[in-house]
Copies of this chain bind each other. A is one copy, B any other.
Amino acid sequence: MNIRDLQYLVAVYELNSFSKAAQRCYVSQPTLSGQLKKLETGLGARLIERSTRKILFTRLGEKVVVQAREILRLVDHIKDLAQETDDPMAGDIHLGLIPTIGPFLLPKIVPKIGERYPQMKLFLYELQTDKLIRKLLEGELDAIVLAKLDWAYPIGEIPLYTEKLKLAISSSDPLASRKRAVKLSVLDGRSVLMLEDGHCLRDQAMGVCFSAGAKEDQRFQATSLDTLLHMVATGAGTTLVPELACEKNLEGITFLNFSAPAPSRDIILAMRNNSVRKPALEQLATLISNSI
């Protein structure tokens, strides 16, 4: 069986004539006759009682026409679905971000995306790196925004921006009065507040602290950057914060730059190597880069 044959059958049903049906289907009458005969032999049953004067559908033929019409409707629906996605920027994009980026990056880009690509429907997810990568590979996400990884995953990456880490300290701390950048060595011997396990920022901060001679403050583990900052504000300690998260003016916190070589992390947009949304994602990456 064959979708074209079903079109022929329905055309004959509607026009009550093989020749007219052939015209409508833009094929010759013998072609249409032949295909319908094949359809009948394929099914092992007659669908049409033919004579040169009158076309009469068998009861089976009429039943088949009902099914055929439904099939043709569904086929058209498939074509419609495919048509809709002709614009590469149209359709759904499921974007994941790590929690230490999402709340600070999204306000900068979501309005612009809505403005520039109104056809795009953006679905946002905030998850830690390992979950993001799993969902990306499973196809649940189209792209993820995260800090560049050391491990090689089968994913394509587009660099978005590099953000420095700043020192967040209580404004009452003697260091807070410094207007210029501080050296990493100011961390030496300090206890630093950290995020809970699973956040990549925690790993990055731990690395910095290790090389600077600082230790993790074992008494607390924050579940979010916001919590961490509140703890700093109440004088509970000090911590390392990515640049983007320092833009809010928070009571009681002073952000200090580190002098070169300042610790930093590379933020990337990652996708599956063979993602069908690559064209859209590349444009999205450009928009994000330009927004920082």
Contact = CB atoms under 8 A, between A and B. Distances in A.
29 contacts: A1-B78, A2-B3, A3-B3, A43-B79, A43-B82, A44-B82, A44-B86, A45-B82, A46-B276, A49-B139, A49-B275, A49-B276, A51-B272, A51-B274, A56-B138, A56-B139, A57-B139, A58-B276, A59-B91, A59-B92, A60-B81, A60-B82, A60-B85, A63-B81, A67-B75, A67-B77, A68-B78, A71-B71, A71-B74
A92 B60 CA distance: 10
Contacts of A3: 1-3
A188 interface: no
Contacts of A273: 51
* A1, A83, A91, A139, most chain B CB atoms within 10 A: A139
A50 interface: yes
A92 B59 CA distance: 9
The 9 closest A-B pairs by CB, nearest first: A43-B82, A45-B82, A46-B276, A56-B139, A67-B78, A71-B74, A67-B74, A45-B85, A49-B274
Contacts of A75: 1, 67, 71
Interface residues of A, number: 44
Counted per complex, copies of this chain come to 2
Interface of A: 1-3, 43-46, 49-51, 53-54, 56-60, 63-64, 67-68, 70-71, 74-75, 77-79, 81-83, 85-86, 91-92, 137-139, 154, 272-276
